[in-house]
Amino acid sequence: MTQPLLLLTNDDGYTSEGLQVLADALEGLGEVWVVAPDRENSAVSHALTLSRPLRMTRLADRRFVVDGTPTDCVTLGICQVLKDRNPDLVISGINFGANMGDDVHYSGTVSAAFEAVILGVPAIAVSQVVGEGFSFHFAAKFARLLAERVLERGLPAATLLNVNVPPGPPAGIAFCRLGKRRYTEGVVEDTDPRGRTCYWIGGGAPVWEPIPGTDFHEVASGFVAITPLQLDMTDHQLLATLQREAAQWRLSAR
């Protein structure tokens, strides 16, 4: 059997330790290609660059940087760099910091994995929760094991696995759902050096709801949290209700 073709990207930028440790850990499992942003792109979500041309620079054999977003990188990776050879798996990460609960919507790391799924390639997003004594090495080792299993077992189309690794030595593995986070102080007002008012978003300390069976809860209990995420954001339950109760809405398009 030929070696699996693995495409790596991230949102922290090409030089981030998490990506480099991941690339090293996957060496030998398959043919590892990296197409990553040339700088930090955290919280850019699923942004795609359409208003200017993109530049891609080859840094070494199978290693490229793009002056764009993580989604741009996956698009160029699949549709340009590896256009004649479909990758078997895209792995995004290892992100510096958690991507759990509602935060997956802001995450460039998770969105890059979603872009792969949109383009028909199975994907995993891996994030390292930062805390005392953390290192990327366990997350990288685990990412390799999970990649191996996904290559063996496959994933449903339009679904990815979102992985968050706790800072200390993990107590085990938990399959779980997304949790709920609260921002205690959504916007912080400040004054810039020129005396003008400015604002920081997300300046307050994050607080998560302690709901068992959620990623936040499992990671806080020392487990590696694995959450399957699907691209289809349709609320199928509400859709069925709306269709049943359509007449009660008394809506008209005319």
30/96 with CB nearer Mn ion: 96
**Segment interacting with Mn ion (CB under 5 A) among 10-18, 57-65, 112-120, 194-202:** 10-18
42/128 with CB nearer Mn ion: 42
**Segment interacting with Mn ion (CB under 5 A) among 27-35, 94-102, 149-157, 175-183:** 94-102
18/122 with CB nearer Mn ion: 18
44/82 with CB nearer Mn ion: 44
Q: Does 162 help bind Mn ion (rule: CB under 5 A)?
A: no
Region 135-154 residues binding Mn ion, contact defined as CB under 5 A? none
CB of 49 to Mn ion, least distance (A): 18
Sorted by sequence, the CB contacts under 8 Å of residue 70 that are 6+ apart come out as 9, 10, 11, 36, 37, 41, 44, 92, 108, 109, 111, 112, 115
Report the Cα 18 to chain-centroid distance in Å.
Answer: 13
Q: What is the C-alpha to C-alpha distance for residues 132 and 168, in angstroms, rounded to an integer?
A: 8
Q: What is the C-alpha to C-alpha distance for residues 244 and 254, in angstroms, rounded to an integer?
A: 21
Sign of CA dihedral 126, 130, 131, 134: positive
Q: Does 95 help bind Mn ion (rule: CB under 5 A)?
A: yes
Region 19-78 residues binding Mn ion, contact defined as CB under 5 A? 42
CB of 117 to Mn ion, least distance (A): 19
Q: Does 12 help bind Mn ion (rule: CB under 5 A)?
A: yes
β-bridge pairing 63-66 and 56-60? antiparallel
Of the candidates 85, 155, 165, the residue with the CA atom closest to the CA atom of residue 117: 155
**Segment interacting with Mn ion (CB under 5 A) among 90-98, 116-124, 151-159, 199-207:** 90-98
Could you tell me the CA-to-CA distances from 30 to 160, 188, 220 in Å, in that order?
A: 19, 46, 33
Q: Does 164 help bind Mn ion (rule: CB under 5 A)?
A: no
Q: What is the C-alpha to C-alpha distance for residues 38 and 42, in angstroms, rounded to an integer?
A: 12
Could you tell me the CA-to-CA distances from 237 to 102, 143, 158, 241 in Å, in that order?
A: 20, 33, 19, 6
Name the residue with the smallest CB distance to Mn ion: 42
CB of 109 to Mn ion, least distance (A): 6
**Segment interacting with Mn ion (CB under 5 A) among 59-67, 72-80, 91-99, 174-182:** 91-99
Ramachandran angles phi, psi of 58, nearest 5°: -85, 120
95/162 with CB nearer Mn ion: 95
**Segment interacting with Mn ion (CB under 5 A) among 8-16, 65-73, 193-201, 210-218:** 8-16
Q: How many positions of this chain bind Mn ion (CB under 5 A)?
A: 4
Contact 66/76 with Cβ under 8 angstroms?
yes
Q: Write out the residues near Mn ion by the rule CB under 5 A.
A: 11-12, 42, 95
